[in-house]
Amino acid sequence: MRLILLGAPGAGKGTQAEYLSKRFSIPHISTGDILRENVKNETELGKKAKEYMDKGLLVPDEIVIEIVKDRISKEDCKNGFLLDGFPRTIAQAEALDKVLQELGQKIDKVLNIEVPDEKILERMSGRRICKNCGASFHVIYRPPQKEGVCDVCGGELYQREDDKEETVKKRLEVYHAQTQPLIDYYKEKGLLVVAYGQEEIADTTKEVLKALGIE
């Protein structure tokens, strides 16, 4: 199975990707991870990408496409893969189509995990992390026994910058503006399926399997 996974930050995409990767024995390919891996291993593509990353610039599409192509050509992708974080734009989606054509492959389904913005806002802005041991809490869903204090080690709990309400709102705005054209693109191709994110992880997994036509 060859899948593309879409979903806003905080929609629970990572957890579902992990499950699907194990269930179908296919690699979960996160573009962020493979970019960092290429940079760390100082591959030719990694060196090119690093020049941009060091300047705080976005890595150009042609380099990202080459890195993705290199990754999906590997032996462990023979029976399929799960792409997460790529494509992000129509241009990238079209380039991916070309690459897959060259490899004699095609995307089976594009899974969009949908969660209302207000739910994501509640999930992310309620998160609190321990400064000392990194344990994670939530003011509503997993409150610490004592406010502001970690149950595990007694360390101080804090809210990460990217979990602050204004930041989350901004990230959601950017995500929707960027991803809506992509959703429309795959809908037109008849590849888009939608799973509605639930409170419980297991319930979201059921929705995901239903969307993929696997009960």
Active site residue 171: yes
- Token look-up 């806003």 returns 8
The response to whether 178 counts as a known ligand-binding position is: no
77 is in an annotated binding site: no
Given 2, 48, 123, 127, which residue is catalytic?
Answer: 127
Say if residue 13 carries a ligand binding annotation: yes
Q: How many CB atoms lie within 10 A of CB 161?
A: 8
Q: Would the annotation count 133 as a binding residue?
A: yes
Active-site choice (88, 169, 187, 206): 88
Catalytic residue list contains 127? yes
Is 57 annotated as ligand-binding?
A: yes
**Nearest residue to 87 via CA among 103, 110, 54, 104:** 110
The verdict on whether residue 208 carries a ligand-binding annotation is: no
For residues 65 and 96, the answer to whether their CB atoms sit within 8 Å is yes
Active site residue 88: yes
Residues with catalytic function: 13, 88, 127, 160, 171
Which residues line the annotated binding site for AMP? 31, 36, 57-59, 85-88, 92, 160, 171
Which residues line the annotated binding site for Zn(2+)? 130, 133, 150, 153
Which residues line the annotated binding site? 10-15, 31, 36, 57-59, 85-88, 92, 127, 130, 133, 136-137, 150, 153, 160, 171, 199
